[in-house]
Amino acid sequence: MDVANSNWLWISATPVVLMVLLQAGLFLRRAWKNGQEMGLSDDQLRSGLKTGVISAIGPAIAVLAAMLALIATIGGPVAWMRLSVIGSVAFELPAAEIGISQLGYGFGDDGITETAFATSVWTMTLGGIGWLLVVAVGTPHMEKARERIVGGRDTLLPIVTSGAMLGAFAYFVSGEITSGAPETGSAAVGGLVMLALLKLADERDVQWIREWALGSAMAVGLVVGMVVHAAAGGGW
């Protein structure tokens, strides 16, 4: 852990995190400029930005909790860097465990060598390159593929896009709700809270409820999952 939390690792991780922040700033600036070119008013753009910031609170809490778990296993610098770039503890923790196990260790063991730690970090880093390459190579061709799917009928474009998003979310959620009672309870209650808040916002035409709906639903779902886990354990 002295090596895992050394100053050299903090120095090495800092440029990566700064690059992520720079990218976020560039995307925000570009999105604002494109919004103005599309004819959106500054009030609409500010409302969209506010909604995005609020909606990010729930996922940010989950990433923070994951970072605490990762810090205890691989130290602060690498956990900070990896979750700033990828943000998926579902990948990072198993990848780190796979890497360190190749030299016969497990997290929590005494006497873990520097080589075993380095192997764990390389496994996380190289293992995360795959989807980044797919995105980098495939994204420029996605719009053409989407247009071919609808056969030139522009009215189908938003339908296909919405269907793809629903399918992606359903794929991830279905894997979680079958994992055990906490996951099922979290997804079910979170979904019901989301529906209730959106219905309330539509009935009373209150914009701030729509803005807080996703973050609130995720927070409630997380709490319900922890309560169910504490009361009933992780299984069915």
Q: How do residues 116-135 score in pLDDT, each as one tens digit?
A: 889 988 998 888 888 788 88
Give the closest residue to 173 by CA, choosing from 192, 191, 198, 195.
Answer: 191
82 and 185 both lie in a single domain: no
35 and 96 both lie in a single domain: yes
64 and 123 both lie in a single domain: yes
In whole angstroms, give the CA distance from residue 138 to residue 218.
30
123 and 197 both lie in a single domain: no
114 and 189 both lie in a single domain: no
Inter-residue contact 42 to 199 (CB < 8 Å): no
Q: Is the pLDDT of residue 234 over 70?
A: no
17 and 105 both lie in a single domain: yes
Tens of pLDDT, residues 145-203: 777 777 777 777 788 888 888 898 888 888 888 888 888 999 999 999 999 999 998 88
Is there a domain that residue 86 lies in?
Answer: yes
Residue range 41-63: mean pLDDT, rounded: 82
In whole angstroms, give the CA distance from residue 23 to residue 155.
33
Is there a domain that residue 142 lies in?
Answer: no
Give the closest residue to 87 by CA, choosing from 101, 69, 67, 71.
Answer: 67
Is there a domain that residue 136 lies in?
Answer: no
109 and 12 both lie in a single domain: yes
113 and 197 both lie in a single domain: no
Output the pLDDT for position 45: 92
Output the pLDDT for position 235: 61
Output the pLDDT for position 230: 87
Q: Is the pTM of this model over 0.75?
A: no
Is there a domain that residue 150 lies in?
Answer: no
| Last-in-domain residue among 68, 97, 127 | 127
Q: What domain range includes position 122? A: 7-127
In whole angstroms, give the CA distance from residue 37 to residue 80.
36
Is there a domain that residue 171 lies in?
Answer: no
Count up the domains in the chain and report the number. Answer: 2
117 and 32 both lie in a single domain: yes
